[in-house]
Structure 1
Amino acid sequence: MLRALRQDYSRLARADGGRALAYARLREVLQQAIDGGRVTAGQPLPSERDLAEALKLSRVTVRKALSGLVDAGLLVQRRGAGTFVAGERIVKPFSRLTSFSDDLRARGLDPRSEVLERGIGEVTPDEAMALDLSPGTRVVRLHRVRHGGGQPLAIERSVVPQALLPDPLLVRHSLYDALEARGHRPVRALQRLRAVAFDARQARQLALPVGSPGLLIERRAFLADGRAVEFTRSWYRGDAYDFVAELHSEGGTQ
């Protein structure tokens, strides 16, 4: 790969007469390699050091070129592993009530969960407000890192009234599957989304650099009778997800 990139870089330098900035030229070379399928989703790139030596560039220049492609969603950087070509982004409809497992299965991916914490305890004031529960009510809590396609994709903290889910061990992979088995799958939800930057712990759990962009979704889900069944905060990787929603004007016409 290094030899091909060196040839492409030299060819582009001759074509632009050396007028382009080195990092912009390298970024174009790498993007052409990705768009042309010469490097494929999940494939690692040479290290910054190897690229710098092969192309006779500074590591600062190489880092700047890679950073631009990371920001564009074409590359992903994993702490301690290197830089990889980004895989296909997961499109999550924001207007449809689906679980993490539902979304991945729809993309032909196998969802997997890494359980960090699970247990039962008294509801906190914040949880009581979200779930409309009385003080002292017992709730089930789950803290998981959700995986798909061989990489961590999201961090989830979920709270469910124990009256609806008596034991957290009932959740094997999907919380919604466990709720559905007991006749308590939610039928509607309220969600709020905002952009975040991952802190050191979150970045480590998602194998990302500290400060990487992400999306936080807070969900309150309800049963058909109006009872709140779930309060979940999910931190999604910004380089892996696209959230889409269909919008209509109030009058129903454009």
Structure 2
Amino acid sequence: MKISAVLDPGNWSRADGGPLYLQLAEKLSEAVSQGLLAPGSPLPPEREIAAMTGLSRVTVRKAIGRLVEDGLVIQKQGSGSFVAPPAPRLEQSLSRLTSFTEDMARRGLSTTTLWLDRGIYIPSPDEVVALGLSSDASVARLARLRLADGRPMAIERAALPLDILPDPGAVEVSLYGTLAEAGLRPVRALQRISAINLGRDDATTLEVEPGTAGLRIERTSYLADGRVAEFTRSLYRGDAYNFVAELRLARD
């Protein structure tokens, strides 16, 4: 399909669809996601888009500016606007028990944590079962947005028994680093990975569109003595990760 057909306002412009520049930005974003505008390819000049859509160049410029803000388009001085190259995916091994901070440090990436919540709470039924808690116990909860070089990568929601983490406020950067200082770092874990479509709130936090593909990972971690140390439910951007596992031939 030619870009002129994609931008035909009869295919996307609606009276009740909000500001025209946002409708145009959404249509261009769809063209990128569907491969009609390939990574690295130039966008038509503003005057051509204005002619195709019947919009003013000011409206077209605002639409392109929105795509630049969203990271879908880059502008080069004197050259025009181009579809941004896809962000590289990170490979994470499923055979090593490491923290997010350790994973990113090995790749030379700086990590940032934005706290969404942390405190001591009454456990949910899932947490009671996963952590083996009594009905009157409490849990330490940590909810964090993890970023690598400023790019949102994952939302982590962890629950730990209070005898493992009595003070959630003690965790500043790395949970596993804090546990290691107390001699309570997990040594093994079970993980369950499933594909999901991100809901509106989580997608907004991860700076992707609602309904975007993501990965949900549930991890139950254990200490050397077999005690459960951590129950974590994480949501990862589907466009950011490849999980890699080494398989060996089973011998009879």
Q: Is the 8 A contact 1:78 1:207 kept in 2?
A: no
Tell me how far apart the structure 1 counterparts of residues 224 and 133 of structure 2 sit (CA, whole Å).
17
1:90-131 CA-to-partner distances (Å, cap 9, x unmatched) read: 110012111111111111111111101110022222101101
Instruction: For 1:60-71, list aligned pairs within 5 A.
Output: none
Tell me how far apart the structure 2 counterparts of residues 233 and 55 of structure 1 sit (CA, whole Å).
49
1:38-68 CA-to-partner distances (Å, cap 9, x unmatched) read: xxxxxxx86x99597289699xxxxxxxxxx
Aligned to 1:179: 179
Match among 70, 89, 92 for residue 81 of structure 1: 70
Aligned to 1:223: 223
Instruction: Sort the Cα spacing of 1:29 and 1:184 in 2 relative to 1 into closer, same or farther, 3 A.
Output: same
| TM superposition shift of 1:211 | 0.5
1:113-169 CA-to-partner distances (Å, cap 9, x unmatched) read: 110111002222210110111111121001111111211110111001111111011
Q: Is the 8 A contact 2:89 2:241 kept in 1?
A: yes
Q: Which amino acid aligns with 2:70?
A: A
Instruction: Sort the Cα spacing of 1:27 and 1:167 in 2 relative to 1 into closer, same or farther, 3 A.
Output: same
Tell me how far apart the structure 2 counterparts of residues 28 and 214 of structure 1 sit (CA, whole Å).
23
Aligned to 1:70: none
Q: Is the 8 A contact 2:217 2:235 kept in 1?
A: yes
| TM superposition shift of 1:78 | 8.0
Tell me how far apart the structure 2 counterparts of residues 132 and 158 of structure 1 sit (CA, whole Å).
15
Aligned to 2:20: none
Instruction: Sort the Cα spacing of 1:50 and 1:82 in 2 relative to 1 into closer, same or farther, 3 A.
Output: farther
Aligned to 1:30: 38
Aligned to 2:5: none
Number of matched pairs: 200
Identity %: 42
Tell me how far apart the structure 2 counterparts of residues 136 and 165 of structure 1 sit (CA, whole Å).
17
Q: Which amino acid aligns with 2:49?
A: E
Aligned to 2:156: 156
* RMSD over aligned Cα atoms: 3.1
The answer to whether the aligner puts 1:195 opposite 2:184 as a matched pair is no
Aligned to 2:125: 125
Q: Which amino acid aligns with 1:112?
A: T
| TM superposition shift of 1:29 | 7.2
Q: Is the 8 A contact 1:78 1:209 kept in 2?
A: no
Aligned to 2:143: 143
Q: Is the 8 A contact 1:79 1:209 kept in 2?
A: no
Aligned to 1:20: none
Q: Give 3-state SS (helix, strand or coil) of 1:184's partner.
A: coil
| TM superposition shift of 1:228 | 0.3
Q: Which amino acid aligns with 1:30?
A: A
| TM superposition shift of 1:85 | 2.5
Aligned to 2:204: 204
Aligned to 1:232: 232
Tell me how far apart the structure 2 counterparts of residues 177 and 225 of structure 1 sit (CA, whole Å).
19
Match among 30, 49, 55 for residue 53 of structure 1: 49
Q: Is the 8 A contact 1:79 1:204 kept in 2?
A: no
Q: Give 3-state SS (helix, strand or coil) of 1:95's partner.
A: coil
| TM superposition shift of 1:245 | 0.1
Aligned to 2:248: 248
- Gaps spanning 5+ residues in structure 2: where? 1-30, 55-65, 73-83
Tell me how far apart the structure 2 counterparts of residues 189 and 226 of structure 1 sit (CA, whole Å).
10
Instruction: Sort the Cα spacing of 1:82 and 1:52 in 2 relative to 1 into closer, same or farther, 3 A.
Output: farther
1:13-48 CA-to-partner distances (Å, cap 9, x unmatched) read: xxxxxxxxxx79x948734x48xxxxxxxxxx86x9
Tell me how far apart the structure 2 counterparts of residues 57 and 201 of structure 1 sit (CA, whole Å).
32
